[in-house]
Amino acid sequence: MDCLEILRISRTLVYDGERREEIPMGLMDWGKAQFIEIIEWLDDSNDTLAWRFPVRNQEIKNGAQLVVRESQEATFVHEGQFTDTFGPGTHTLSTRNMPIMADLRGWKYGFESPFKSEVYFTNTRLFNDLGWGTSNPIMMRDADFGMLRIRAFGIYSIRVQDSKKFLKELVGTNGLYTKDDITEQLRKSLMSRFTDALGEAKVPALDLAAHYDELSDLLRKKMDPEFQTMGLECSKLFIENISLPEEVEAMMDKRTSVGMMAPVMGAYTQMQVADSVPLAAQNPGGLAGMGMGLGAGLGMGNMMGQQMGAAMGQMTQAPYPQGNAAAAPLPAKSLKEELTELKDLFDSQLITQQEFDKQRAATLAKHGMA
């Protein structure tokens, strides 16, 4: 090895968190190599929350340029104590814009010697689409169905609100801190607070889907104090889905089917009675009591429709009906009504003259007029 190679040293020019480019320089530049003149963070990642500038054994030159880009903050740490924090812009470091550092080090105005300090950059942009969800079902007490096991999931967004508190509580001495280092802890906290919010809201299981926005706001407010202790801000939080057990969903589908049938049950029964008249006319004696039976059939159809509508109202109020109430007896028809219905059947040629006379005689006998 010749003398030129012995006298050569290396100086780091580029600090980007992952790659360092080094070039050889002569002995005359050795003094300059010990001083940092530009401090900046070129962040090309999508998940880094904090990064420590690699000072190593170098000192920061008084008058060095600190470049802080948009959505960044730079915080100086001197012997374990947080000093000055800088926002976006290009700053020339001096005693004038580093009052805390100057006080800690006992600098006098115009002090120009280099100094050692750690520099942490924090990313203050919004980190979106962070997922949360219940890894296991959580218990919910419902007035309609009793105890239920439900699952829920959604998304939220965070940002660094207080750089010093964030560095103190979470980053510590780590040179690199990403969102993966905090998301698992936040997910568990969200799951716990969601259970509390669900219990306080007291929303029935059947109405949960209509109250996602209210539950989301309540959950975010419950999480705010915990986020603030870490120097973070929960900017947005959404509940995307709350799923019920399959048994409850099947019961809800059954209720929906019954509710769809109730309004048309009377018309359906009338159609069934009308279809049965020609069949009964073909059988001897099949029209005995047809007038009374037809009226009872029409009345029964209307009554069934009303009962099904009332039953739907009871099902939404009580999950487990206490038996079926006995149907109220139909009012007896007058002689005039029965004879009129019988005459309509004869005029419509649904029964013969002989059948009409026989049924008419039976009706008169029933009313004591034989």
3-state secondary structure of 247: helix
pLDDT digits (tens, 9 = 90+) for 61-109: 888 999 999 999 999 998 889 999 999 999 998 878 888 887 877 766 6
Give the pLDDT confidence score for residue 214 in this predicted structure.
93
pLDDT above 50: residue 21: no
Give the pLDDT confidence score for residue 318 in this predicted structure.
46
Give the pLDDT confidence score for residue 139 in this predicted structure.
87
Q: What is the mean pLDDT of the chain?
A: 76
187 vs 290, more confident: 187
pLDDT digits (tens, 9 = 90+) for 299-350: 555 555 555 555 555 544 544 444 444 445 556 777 778 878 877 787 777 7
3-state secondary structure of 11: strand
Asked whether the CA dihedral 211, 212, 213, 218 is positive or negative, the reply is: positive
Tokens of 238: 């959404």
Q: Which of 111-115, 267-271, 342-346 has the lowest mean pLDDT?
A: 267-271
Q: Which of 231-235, 261-265, 344-348 has the lowest mean pLDDT?
A: 261-265
Which domains does the chain possess? Answer: 3-123 (no CATH), 127-244 (3.30.479.30), 248-315+332-366 (no CATH)
3-state secondary structure of 361: helix
pLDDT above 90: residue 356: no
Q: Which of 24-28, 214-218, 296-300 has the lowest mean pLDDT?
A: 24-28
Give the pLDDT confidence score for residue 57 in this predicted structure.
80
Give the pLDDT confidence score for residue 15 in this predicted structure.
40
Confidence grade of residue 277 (pLDDT, cut at 50, 70, 90): low
pLDDT above 60: residue 193: yes
Q: What is the pTM of this model?
A: 0.60
Q: Distance between terminal CA atoms of the chain?
A: 141
Give the pLDDT confidence score for residue 7 in this predicted structure.
33
Confidence grade of residue 22 (pLDDT, cut at 50, 70, 90): very low
Confidence grade of residue 182 (pLDDT, cut at 50, 70, 90): very high
Confidence grade of residue 6 (pLDDT, cut at 50, 70, 90): very low
Give the pLDDT confidence score for residue 102 in this predicted structure.
79
Confidence grade of residue 3 (pLDDT, cut at 50, 70, 90): very low
Q: In terms of DSSP H, where are the helices of the chain?
A: 3-7, 30-33, 99-105, 163-166, 183-201, 212-229, 246-261, 265-281, 290-317, 335-347, 353-366
Q: Give the Cα separation of 120 and 277 in Å (integer).
A: 91
- Strand ranges (E), 26-96: 35-40, 48-52, 59-68, 72-78, 81-86, 89-92
φ, ψ dihedrals at 136, nearest 5°: -130, 155
Give the pLDDT confidence score for residue 367 in this predicted structure.
75
Q: Which of 162-176, 189-203, 247-261 has the lowest mean pLDDT?
A: 247-261
Give the pLDDT confidence score for residue 181 in this predicted structure.
94
Map tokens 């700053």 to a residue: 91
Give the pLDDT confidence score for residue 351 in this predicted structure.
78
Question: In this structure, are residues 216 and 237 in contact, taking their beta carbons and an 8 Å threshold?
Answer: yes
